[in-house]
Amino acid sequence: MGDKYSIILPTYNERKNLPILVYLLDKTFREAKIDWEVVIVDDASPDGTQEIARKLIDVFGADHIQLRPRAGKLGLGTAYVHGLQFVTGNYVIIMDADFSHHPEAIPEFIALQKKHNYDIVTGTRYAGNGGVYGWDLKRKLVSRGANFLASTVLRPNVSDLTGSFRLYKKDVLAKIISETKSKGYVFQMEMMVRARALGFTVGEVPINFVDRLYGESKLGGDEIFQYLKGVLSLFVSV
């Protein structure tokens, strides 16, 4: 059987972003002649994201789009854990649904993974010609600070620990997730640190992260506090 890529898309108020993203994912995979599906994990978005998701099922088919909602806003980390149960592919891609991660980078992720048989390929904003566009200074500092802190303390040797545009072998993702405790944004960093501790190989693709056009970020002060706690507990345990 051929490869199949399952894209887990966590959504909270992404009704304006979801259709064009799914359209581009379909286009990308069709042109590459690769089998794909999208697993949408929506946390009861009040903006009607789920209505849109159901329309997308009508357009692209239930074999390509799964809607796996949850009852309330339960956090970004646990959204991936929830989505993973429904995945039918042997590779999993996680990405944001607000266009900060562009589908056009996916063929590059896939090619790099295949070339070296990497367990994980991660997008990086902080190496090569990767970058961030549209963030204010404060948000840039938070992101840089978060990466600097975790790299210095935990030394996983990955240039972008908090990014969430990644490709995993499905079994590898399941194994790492089974050991990961974080519920919010800190999840990405913990996943990388645990991946390294388990001896998995990681490749990097420079990406340009462009801040969302529609809607707003859900990163708040509590996520930053949870991140600091996460670094500390990993420092003690890994």
Ligand X SMILES: Nc1nc2c(ncn2[C@@H]2O[C@H](COP(=O)(O)OP(=O)(O)O[C@H]3O[C@H](CO)[C@@H](O)[C@H](O)[C@@H]3O)[C@@H](O)[C@H]2O)c(=O)[nH]1
Binding site for Mg ion (CB under 5 A): 98, 100, 212
- Strands (E) across the chain are located at 4-11, 35-42, 65-67, 91-94, 120-124, 131-133, 166-169, 202-206, 208-210
73 versus 175: smaller Cβ distance to Mg ion: 73
Q: Which two tokens stand for residue 39?
A: 């697993």
12 versus 36: smaller Cβ distance to Mg ion: 12
Task: Provide the minimum distance between the beta carbon of 41 and Mg ion in the complex, in angstroms, as a whole number.
Answer: 15
Residue 188 binds what, of ligand X, Mg ion, none (CB under 5 to 8 Å, by partner type)?
Answer: ligand X
Task: Provide the minimum distance between the beta carbon of 91 and Mg ion in the complex, in angstroms, as a whole number.
Answer: 23
Residue 109 binds what, of ligand X, Mg ion, none (CB under 5 to 8 Å, by partner type)?
Answer: none
Task: Provide the minimum distance between the beta carbon of 107 and Mg ion in the complex, in angstroms, as a whole number.
Answer: 22
Q: Give residue for tokens 């980390």.
A: 77
Residue 185 binds what, of Mg ion, ligand X, none (CB under 5 to 8 Å, by partner type)?
Answer: ligand X
Binding footprint of ligand X on the chain (CB under 6 A): 10-12, 14, 41-43, 73, 75-76, 79, 96-98, 100, 143, 162-164, 185, 188, 212, 217-219
Question: Would you call 119 helix, strand, or coil by DSSP?
Answer: coil
Question: Would you call 122 helix, strand, or coil by DSSP?
Answer: strand
Task: Provide the minimum distance between the beta carbon of 194 and ligand X in the complex, in angstroms, as a whole number.
Answer: 16
2 versus 72: smaller Cβ distance to ligand X: 72
Residue 150 binds what, of Mg ion, ligand X, none (CB under 5 to 8 Å, by partner type)?
Answer: none
Q: Report the candidate in 5, 183, 6 with the shortest Cα–Cα distance to residue 79.
A: 183
6 contacts 170 by C-beta, under 8 angstroms: yes
Question: Would you call 157 helix, strand, or coil by DSSP?
Answer: coil
Task: Provide the minimum distance between the beta carbon of 196 and Mg ion in the complex, in angstroms, as a whole number.
Answer: 25
- Which residue type occupies 4? K
- Which residue type occupies 30? R
17 versus 113: smaller Cβ distance to Mg ion: 17
37 versus 98: smaller Cβ distance to Mg ion: 98
In sequence order, what are the residues at sequence separation of 6 or more whose Cβ sits closer than 8 angstroms to the Cβ of residue 170?
6, 87, 89, 90, 91, 92
Q: Report the candidate in 199, 198, 185, 175 with the shortest Cα–Cα distance to residue 231.
A: 185
